[in-house]
Every structure is written in structure tokens, then in C-alpha cells.
Amino acid sequence: MTHTIKVLFRLFILIFYMRTSTSLDSLAVNQSIRDGQTLVSANGIFEIGFFSPGNSKGRYLGMWYKNLTPLTAVWVANRETPVHNNSGVLKLNENGVLVILSGANSNVWSSKISETVFVNNSINAQLLDTGNFVLKNGKDYILWQSFDYPCDTLLPGMKLGWNLVTGLNKIQSSWKSTDDPAKGEYSSGVDLRGYPQVVIMKGSAIKLRVGSWNGRSFTGYPTQPLKEKQIFEFVITDKEVYHRYEVVDRSMICVYRLSLTGNLQALCWTSHSSSRIVIYTDAEDSCDNYAMCGANSICNMDGNVPKCECLKSYVPKFPEQWNISYWSGGCVPKIELVCGNNNTSGFLRYKEMKLPDTSSSLYNKTMNLVECQRVCTKNCSCTGYANMDIRNGGSGCLLWFGDLVDMRVISQWGQDLFIKVPSSELDYISVDVPRSMKKRLVRITVGLITVGFLTCACIIIFIRKVAPRLYRRAPFQKRQVYSRLIKEDMDLPIFDFSILVKATYNFSSTNKLGEGGFGPVYKGTLVDGKEVAIKRHSKVSDQGLEEFKNEVVLIAKLQHRNLVKLLGCCIHREEMLLIYEYMPNKSLDYFIFDETRSKLLGWTHRSHIIAGIARGLLYLHQDSRLRIIHRDLKTSNILLDAHMIPKISDFGLARTFGGDQVEAKTKKMVGTYGYMPPEYAVHGRYSMKSDVFSFGVIILEIISGNKIKGFYDSENSLNLLGYAWRLWIENMPLELLDTHLFEMCISSEVIRSIHVGLLCVQQKPEDRPDMSSVILMLKGEKLLPQPKAPGFYSGKSSLEATSLSSNQMSLTIFEAR
């Protein structure tokens, strides 16, 4: 009897499974899959089923590549409405609509069908090998498809853009977090204004312009690194405007993902490995930020620092801001162009350019470049032109009107742009120059070229033959000596270079955390799974072996809760690397200067961070075995751990004091613009009070949410210190407070912190308190004297102030990040 019951039970389960299960890749009407079951495309490439991303407890219907690990969802159906248990069901219902049901058949999600469907046996939902999940009526007629509703990932063949007939806009949107696939704040799509272009948006504002299509690539996102593996196209018709790509190299899978931070990444897998690699990441430098330099200006990366230059015949709109590297005001024409019959304009050619924002442009597919120039010359509002398509010598015409925005130099992959300027600004030799003068100019030119050629030849010979020998001797021997000292005396682990290469995926750009004066910093994962931060020396850095040794010697001997911990180092041939504990919340400037992330730091967090930095400085100045002056204290050198505890980092420029020493002097000042006190910037004198000044600047930045470099009170010609001082003497200190903090702070604590900050940035070092007094002041355990005027409060930069010195000193200023 028991055996019979078991057989009947198994038969019931089999019948139930046959009624609810499906074929491998499709669902017929009234068929379904439950949580735990999946659909798999015909050739086993894609799989659809329920999953939980990251640490989420919600269940989502997602799609992924079946044989790749870890599971990486490329599409999510119910991204806004998770199923909160394992009761989820995907069903093709009796009305021919795909639905996700939860619990007692409550509808969580459904496919969108814009027409009434006559339901019959020919309707089915099928997962294709392309990754497109389609609902078909018959063999070929598609009622609905997942390709019309991208999430954060673009697959080969998926269209990004507009269906002009139905009005459907297919956009890519980031996840809200690694645990939540709901739409985040970043999106990517096609902007239809003017000549269509692809843009990445942060909310309703443009974050980055991928750019317009020039026949080979997007002008702001060169595809040359990937052209051997993929084919890109941009289509403009009366019915559609879209971008898509196809994979040529079948041995590689490549998708484009919009990351949580709004970066566009090409994620690829090879057929030989299931491990993911990132082979291209967009927005790696400041020039990629939309309109970084304002209007009529070109952004260029000078090493790792952005540099803005006005177009020729243009001048900065706000020169005083331009002089302190605050460029967003852009440039305006120096000489107004003359229109009409007296038109005396011409065109300057700029090479290797990312073309300007095309939202205010006109385009014509049939015009050539000569006709394009003629039209622009006659139109008074036209400011520039370029080829629409650069293939086969160029074709088509793009015309810009008004300001030219978001230009940058893109070496090798940019294109020619022609800017209209007054004829007086064109560089040429007049045809009226006498023949004898022309001959003299030719002879001078030939002579200069010859001398230049010989000089270059000598330099090349020196660099290739002599310099390597000189470099290999002393520096290499010096590195070997330092390596032995570290091993024998410092008791500090020495890491093998190959381990660090593997830990950072060969120093992949996606692992890059930031850039400092010493060089780039990468996130690494060691063999045991421990996450670390790896600082790698850059060959173009002003810092070198001495700073490397300095950091190792100093920080290895320091142990404090508010100092970053050095785990080890590596010296390998020309490579010098430092390995630190990993700080998941990056640096202080990452939070307080960002419009969105700053909201996460309430007053309680900020006051704790101020106190933590103060305790770390007190340890350096008084409580450690060595008396240490940091000399480069700034917000980007304050790292935050998982609990938002601040840790002072970057000791490459630090110096030690012995015995009763209170001050030292140098002829080479190093540090960061805005954080250096007057006595150091002007006379080269530094002491513990130098760090106190920098700490005061940081307090005012934390409270206001403004950068010392970027802030400018144009009404009173004041920088941040001057602005804070003016509010203090006018009895309005709370006006300095970050607007995000108004409803969440204790005003007396804020005013006390501002008071302490102003005491720390006073002009004379002897007027500033030491760090032990600062800590008591912040706790309210010490009476606060009235502050005196701060250093550099007039609004002039510290760089300008150094011109007051008669000393012959070399000055190294690092841009504040």
C-alpha cells in the first residue's frame, strides 16, 4: 500500500511538471516556469530565471550568459518590483501577455503590448541565442521583445535610440546599487536635438557626451581599440535613429555596461576563460566631464591634470577665475566678427578634436567640405564646421551656431574642426612681402630647421645611449640599498611584483581608485582574498625614490587608529609600489564635494571626521616616537574606512623633527595649492603650525562643502578663507554651512568648529593653536580666543603670494583633487 502511494505521488508530480514546464527555450500560452526553473536558448548561450543580486533578499527575473561565472545579469524584467520570497512565477497567460506572479497570483510585472492580440496556439515566448527574449504571434511577427527595454547592459544587436513611429526611446540605465537593479541616477541614450548624438545623463543633466557619429566612431568615444572585434553603426532614417554594434570575433563575448558611477565599460570574456576582463572604460579623466571648460574652450590633459585653453580669438569670460583654474565660465569672442558685405572672417583648423556638442548644429549629408565652408562664411551666426563623415576623404556637412561647448583633444582618433575667426587672427605671410624679405625668411627657416634637427639628433643619442647607463647605475644601486634596508631594518613585508600584477588584473583601469602626487592607486585582491590599495610610482611624477623611502620609513613605524596602515612594499627594477589597507569609502573629497554623496554625510559624521583627523595629527606631532610634519594634508589624503573613520595617508612629503626643534626651512616647497600656509609658501618655513593651517582649511571645507581651490566669492573677490572670515566678522557664521546640513546640525557645535577652523588658519603661525589645544577646543573644554585675519584671505592664490618673496626658491605645487 505504501509503495502504491509513492508511485501515485511520483506520477502526480510528473503530470504536474509536464503541465507547468516548458521546452528548453520557450513558453506556450498558459505555460510557466517557477523560481528554481530556467529557460535556456537553443544553443545554450543565454539563460533566464529568478536570481538575487549581491546581498539582496529580493528575487528578480533576469537573463545571463549561461556558461560564464560569476553570474552577471544582462537584463532584468521586474527591476523595480522584486518578489520577496521564492514564490515567483513567469507565465505566458491566456491573454498572450508575459507576467510575473508572486504569492497568491499577484501581478508583479507584465510585458507591454500596444495592440490587441488574437490569442491562439501560434503565440509563444522564446529566448533567442542573441539574448533577445521575444513574444511572437506566428513564426516571425514580434509583439514584444526585451531588446526594446535595455537595462544597464547593451548586448550585440540591441538598439540604443528612438523609434520615431511609435515614439519608443530605448535607453540604457544604471542599477541603483550592486544589490538593487532598479533604475539608478545614470542613463545613456540618443539626444535627437541637432545632429543626433549619444549622451550619458546624471538625472536630467548631461554627465558625459559620447558624441556624434563620424562614420568610423563616436567623436568622444573612439572605438579603434575594439574595431578588430566589433562592428559599430549609427543609423538615421525617417523611422529610426539608433546605435548598435555586432561582434566580429566569435571567440570573444563583449557587452557594454553603464556602471553605478555613470562610466561606460566594455566587459569581455574570451572563449578560453569564463573570467571577465574590462578592456575599455570611458570617462577616465576630467576632460570627459561635460563642458568641463565652459563654452568656446578646449580641454586637454597635461599629464594627469586637465588644462583649459580658449579658442584663438577668444578670451576668458572671467579672467580672475581662469587664473585660479576655475574654468566653467568659458570664453567669449575677443573681436566681434563683421557680417555682411564687409565680412573679413576666416577659419582656423583644429586637429584631433572631439567635436562640440551637436545639439545646436545643422547637418547635410550631401554637402562637401568646400560647400560647408561657404555656407558658414555667409551665415553670421555660424561659428564652425566639420565633416559629418570622415571616411574616404570626408563627406557631409556639420554646422555649429552660437557657443561651441564640450571640446577636447583626442590624440590619434579625433577629427578636424574648423573655427570661424576674424582674418586678423589668422597666421599667414602676406603676399605683399618683398621678394628679398621672403628669401631671407626662407634662409632663416632652413637654418633653424637644420640646427633643430642636429639638436634633436644629439638629444636622441643621449637618451638612447648615455642616459640609460647613468640611470641604471646610481638609481638602481640606490633602490637595491633601500630594498635591503627595508628587509633588514624595517620588518616590513616585501611583495613580489607578479603578485601585485595579478591582484590588480595587470593594473587595469577599472581597478584604478585615483591618482596622487606619487602616482596612480589601484584596488587589488590578494590570493587569500584580502583587499588592498596599491600605490604605483608614475614615471612622470615629481616624487621619486626619496619620497618612497620616506613614506616606508615613517609610516611603517606609526600605529594609530587615524593613520592609514602600510602593509608592505615592492621594489622591482624601475617599479616602486606601496601596499596599504583598502579603504572602501575612498577619500574625504569623494564625499563632501559631490552634490549627491555629500548628502550622506550629516553633521554627526562630519564632526567625527574632524575630531578623528585632529587625533591623528596630535599623534604625529606629539605622541609618536617621531615628531612628524605631514606637509601635504588635504581632503584627498584623508581616507575613510567602512565605518567612515578618517585615516591620514600619503607621507611621501613628510619630515621629522628631533629634540626641541620647532621649525625648519627649505628652498624647495612641496605641497598643494590652497592648503599651504603663508610662511611656507613665501619663505619656505615649515613647522607643526603648517599642518595646523592645513587642518583649518579642511575644517572649513568639511563645514561648507566647498573646495579651497574652486570656491570664489566674486562679489567680494574672496576665496573660501576670506569668505568664512567675512561671515565671521559680520556675525553670520552659519551662512558658511553646507545647505544639506541646516536641518540636521547643532548650531553651537557648528559655530565652535568654524571658530576653531579660523583660529587654525590665522596669518601668523604663533597665533595658531597646537593640536592638543585644538582637540580640547572642539570638545568645548577650552575657552576660544577671538581669531585674527586668515592667511591669503584677500582672495589671491598662494601661488601669487609667493611672488612677494625675494628668496630664490623652487616651488612644487600640486593641484588639489
Which residues are designated catalytic? 632
| Residues paired with residue 148 on neighbouring β-strands, in sequence order | none
| Residues paired with residue 14 on neighbouring β-strands, in sequence order | none
| Residues paired with residue 51 on neighbouring β-strands, in sequence order | 60
At residue 421, what are phi and psi to the nearest 5 degrees?
A: -140, 160
- Planar angle of CA 64, 67, 71, nearest 5 degrees: 45
Cα 40 from Cα 146, distance rounded (Å): 15
Cα 621 from Cα 633, distance rounded (Å): 13
Alpha carbon dihedral 408, 413, 418, 421, in 10-degree steps, equals 30
Cα 237 from Cα 242, distance rounded (Å): 9
C-alpha cell at 471: 640611470
Nearest to 162 by CA among 202, 132, 198: 198
Compute the Cα dihedral for 265, 271, 274, 277 and give only its sign: negative
| Residues paired with residue 27 on neighbouring β-strands, in sequence order | 125
Residue 493, classed as helix, strand or coil, is: coil
Three-state SS sequence of 402-436:
CCCECEEECCCCCEEEEEEEEHHHCCCCCCCCCHH
Characterize the bridge pairing of strands 277-281 and 264-270. Answer: antiparallel
What Rg do the C-alpha atoms of the chain give, in angstroms?
Answer: 32
C-alpha cell at 620: 604625529
Measure CA 634 to chain center: 20
CA atoms within 13 A on the CB side of 493: 11
Spatial neighbors of 217 by CB under 8 A, at least 6 apart, are 223, 224, 227, 232, 413
Cα 557 from Cα 490, distance rounded (Å): 8
Alpha helices in 462-488 (DSSP H): 467-485
At residue 615, what are phi and psi to the nearest 5 degrees?
A: -65, -40
Question: What secondary structure letter does DSSP report for 256?
Answer: E
Map grid coordinates 559624521 to a residue: 605
Nearest to 775 by CA among 794, 797, 790, 760: 760
Nearest to 650 by CA among 661, 636, 664: 636
Cα 23 from Cα 500, distance rounded (Å): 47
Question: What secondary structure letter does DSSP report for 312?
Answer: T
- Which H helix or E strand runs over 748? helix 747-760
Q: Are 632 and 671 within 8 A, CB to CB?
A: yes
Nearest to 311 by CA among 426, 419, 422: 419
Spatial neighbors of 463 by CB under 8 A, at least 6 apart, are none
Angstrom distances, CA of residue 719 to CA of 479, 537, 724: 43, 33, 9
Alpha helices in 278-416 (DSSP H): 319-322, 369-378
Characterize the bridge pairing of strands 240-247 and 531-536. Answer: unpaired
Q: Are 813 and 709 within 8 A, CB to CB?
A: no
Cα 448 from Cα 503, distance rounded (Å): 51
Q: Are 758 and 698 within 8 A, CB to CB?
A: no
Cα 175 from Cα 455, distance rounded (Å): 56
Q: Are 17 and 116 within 8 A, CB to CB?
A: no
**Residues in the chain, how many?**
817
